[in-house]
């Protein structure tokens, strides 16, 4: 008999009859004549209740000794549950123990700290919280593809190893080969020049947008910034759409539409998991997500944002000053206190932004935009790209970059240049927003952060 998933059993309209389920024992309660086993297979949050009669084969030898964490295959009949809280339960006719669990299985009791659970990242997906997080992660990946593919965007795989520092921040991991302990550099360098793990697929994405019009990337990106915050990881995933024949206005519209679409998809398709987060992780979650889905985002220019922050009279740790980056505390004040909704901030000073952003007519600002959301701050960063070859060349020079290294990028402006724009959505930041989980380490299966690359 082939295995039926527990989610399928629990969502059945009528009893599926005699079937087999397989999973891990969450808890077991024994009475004189039978045991109740709460079985979970990760297909959904809920457990399937198994009634194991004392007359079952192997009951005394095996079944009564089952402990939390053990794995079993259960054959039986799905019947209407007598108990409260579930519609279906299973009356076992045979239980095969696949694997017992040693008594030091760490997920016995509830109430472990998130820090402790991170130290057992190989077992934490078996907890309610992490099972839910990673089901939502999977669903959101699908929804991202759906969002773009429905609009005719082409999915492009940009390289993970690259020679260019898209963001120009120099916070990159270098790729080297080794001969024993000796690292090969210079003339021995594997690719003939220094290469790195990509910080962004944008530049390569632009080449494809300048051929296929609407494209997106969705893949891992790497940053060697030494940030010990709850919102930065050294390895994270980014979604980067790039649109030809597109200006900043449409770019902002796209980013807003995408965030709304994903929130709406999660509310619709991850209802049980979100309800769990709403109960145990973040009480205001569902209300906030519905609000985000239903209401437009606010939009302010960087200059207006600085004015609002200055006028707020708030004592910030970092002073607000025109020409400086907005700090996380500023971003959060704007979205949480000032506007009480997601906001898009646009037209940042050119001096604090990378070389590829399009210069505005004022000569001071660039057509950049960030989407900020309550609880997190920046979730999207994007811009219209500089499509004028002379201005781009000047930008490269201003940023101390050589045209030689970016000749292919400049070529896009020499051969049929077009206005184009795009953005990057941090996948993990989106997941934090959708689940209410506070630390980026808890929405990544095996997080990599400064000083930590376990598993």
379 binds ligand 4AD (CB under 6 A): yes
240 binds ligand 4AD (CB under 6 A): yes
> How many Å apart are CA 423 and CA 248, to the nearest integer?
10
Within 10 Å of residue 425's Cβ, how many Cβ atoms?
Answer: 23
**Residue 233 partner contact from ligand 4AD, Mg ion, none using kind-dependent CB cut-offs of 5 to 8 Å:** ligand 4AD
HEC assignment per residue over the chain:
CCECCHHHHHCCCCCCCEEEEEEEEEEEEECCCEEEEEEECCCCCCCEEEEEECCCCCCCCCHHHCCCCCEEEEEEEEEECCCCCCCEEEEEEEEEEEECCCCCCCCCCCCCCHHHHHHCCCCHHHCHHHHHHHHHHHHHHHHHHHHHHCCCCEECCCCCEECCCCCCCCCCCECCEEECCEEECHHHCCCCCCCEECCCCHHHHHHHHHHHCEEEEEEEEECCCCCCCCCCCCEEEEEEEEEECCCHHHHHHHHHHHHHHHHHHHHHHCHHHHHHHHHHCCCCHHHHHHHHHHCCCEEEEHHHHHHHHHHCCCCCCCCCCCCCCCCHHHHHHHHHHHCCCCEEEEEEEHHHCCCCECECCCCCEEEEEEEEECCCEEEEEEEEECCCHHHHHHHHHHCCCCCCCCHHHHHHHHCCCCCEEEEEEEHHHHHHHHHCCCCHHHCCCCCCECCECCC
**Residue 423 partner contact from ligand 4AD, Mg ion, none using kind-dependent CB cut-offs of 5 to 8 Å:** ligand 4AD
380 binds ligand 4AD (CB under 6 A): yes
Binders in 319-358 for ligand 4AD, by CB under 6 A: none
422 binds Mg ion (CB under 5 A): no
Q: Which of 165, 378, 386, 442 binds ligand 4AD (CB under 6 A)?
A: 378
382 binds ligand 4AD (CB under 6 A): yes
CB-based contact 268:454 (threshold 8 Å): no
**Residue 162 partner contact from Mg ion, ligand 4AD, none using kind-dependent CB cut-offs of 5 to 8 Å:** none
**Residue 380 partner contact from Mg ion, ligand 4AD, none using kind-dependent CB cut-offs of 5 to 8 Å:** ligand 4AD
Site string for ligand 4AD, 384-413 (x = CB under 6 A): ------------------------------
Site string for ligand 4AD, 24-53 (x = CB under 6 A): ------------------------------
Site string for ligand 4AD, 434-453 (x = CB under 6 A): ------x-------------
Instruction: Record the tokens describing residue 304, joined without a space.
Output: 């207006």
CB-based contact 365:347 (threshold 8 Å): yes
What is the nearest approach in angstroms of Mg ion to the Cβ of residue 455? Answer: 28
What is the nearest approach in angstroms of ligand 4AD to the Cβ of residue 222? Answer: 9
Q: Which of 426, 434, 441, 447 binds ligand 4AD (CB under 6 A)?
A: 426
Nearer to ligand 4AD by C-beta: 76 or 436?
436
Binders in 355-384 for Mg ion, by CB under 5 A: 381
What is the nearest approach in angstroms of Mg ion to the Cβ of residue 424? Answer: 7
Nearer to ligand 4AD by C-beta: 276 or 423?
423
Binders in 253-292 for ligand 4AD, by CB under 6 A: none
Nearer to ligand 4AD by C-beta: 276 or 297?
297
What is the nearest approach in angstroms of Mg ion to the Cβ of residue 370? Answer: 6
How many of the chain's residues bind Mg ion (CB under 5 A)? 1
Q: Which of 135, 413, 429, 441 binds ligand 4AD (CB under 6 A)?
A: 429
Site string for ligand 4AD, 213-232 (x = CB under 6 A): ----------x--------x
CB-based contact 271:279 (threshold 8 Å): no
Q: Which of 74, 144, 238, 432 binds ligand 4AD (CB under 6 A)?
A: 238
* Contact set with ligand 4AD (CB under 6 A): 166-167, 200, 202, 223, 232-233, 236, 238, 240, 378-383, 422-424, 426, 428-429, 440
């Amino acid at each position: 008999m082939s295995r039926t998933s527990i989610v399928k059993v629990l969502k059945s309209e009528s009893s599926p009859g005699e079937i087999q389920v397989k999973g891990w024992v969450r808890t077991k309660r024994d009475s004189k004549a039978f045991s109740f086993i709460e079985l979970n297979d990760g297909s959904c949050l809920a457990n399937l209740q198994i009634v194991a009669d004392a007359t079952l084969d192997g009951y005394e030898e095996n079944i009564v000794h089952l402990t939390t964490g053990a794995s079993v295959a259960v054959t039986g009949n799905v019947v209407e549950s007598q108990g409260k809280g579930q519609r279906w339960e299973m009356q076992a006719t045979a239980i095969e123990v696949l694997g017992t669990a040693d008594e030091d299985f760490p997920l016995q009791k509830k109430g472990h700290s998130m820090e402790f659970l991170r130290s057992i990242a190989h077992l934490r997906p078996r907890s309610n919280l992490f099972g839910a997080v990673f089901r939502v992660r999977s669903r959101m990946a699908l929804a991202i593809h759906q969002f773009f593919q429905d609009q005719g965007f082409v999915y492009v795989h940009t390289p993970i190893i690259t020679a260019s520092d898209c963001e120009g921040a120099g916070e990159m991991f270098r790729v080297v080969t080794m001969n024993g302990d000796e690292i090969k550099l210079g003339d021995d360098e594997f690719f003939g020049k220094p290469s790195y793990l990509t910080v962004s697929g944008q530049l390569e994405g632009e080449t494809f947008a300048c051929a296929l019009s609407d494209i997106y990337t969705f893949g891992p990106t790497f940053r060697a910034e030494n940030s010990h915050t709850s919102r930065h990881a050294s390895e994270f995933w980014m979604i980067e759409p790039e649109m030809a024949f597109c200006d900043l206005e449409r770019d902002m519209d796209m980013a807003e539409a995408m965030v709304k679409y994903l929130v709406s998809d999660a509310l619709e398709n991850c209802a049980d998991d979100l309800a769990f987060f709403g109960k145990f992780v973040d009480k205001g979650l569902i209300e906030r997500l519905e609000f985000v889905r239903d209401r437009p985002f606010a939009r302010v220019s960087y200059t207006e944002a600085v004015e609002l922050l200055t006028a707020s009279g708030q004592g910030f740790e970092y002073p607000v000053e025109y020409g400086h980056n907005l700090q996380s505390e500023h971003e959060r004040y704007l979205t949480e206190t000032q506007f009480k909704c997601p906001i898009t901030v646009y037209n940042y000073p050119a001096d604090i932004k990378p070389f590829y952003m399009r210069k505005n007519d004022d000569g001071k600002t660039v057509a950049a935009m960030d989407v900020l959301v309550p609880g997190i701050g920046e979730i999207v960063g994007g811009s219209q790209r500089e499509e004028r070859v002379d201005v781009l060349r000047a930008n490269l020079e201003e940023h101390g970059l050589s045209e030689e290294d970016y000749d292919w990028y400049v070529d896009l402006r020499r051969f049929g240049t077009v206005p184009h724009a795009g953005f990057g959505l941090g996948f993990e930041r989106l997941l934090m927003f959708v689940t209410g989980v506070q630390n980026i380490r808890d929405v990544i299966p095996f997080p990599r952060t400064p000083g930590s690359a376990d598993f």
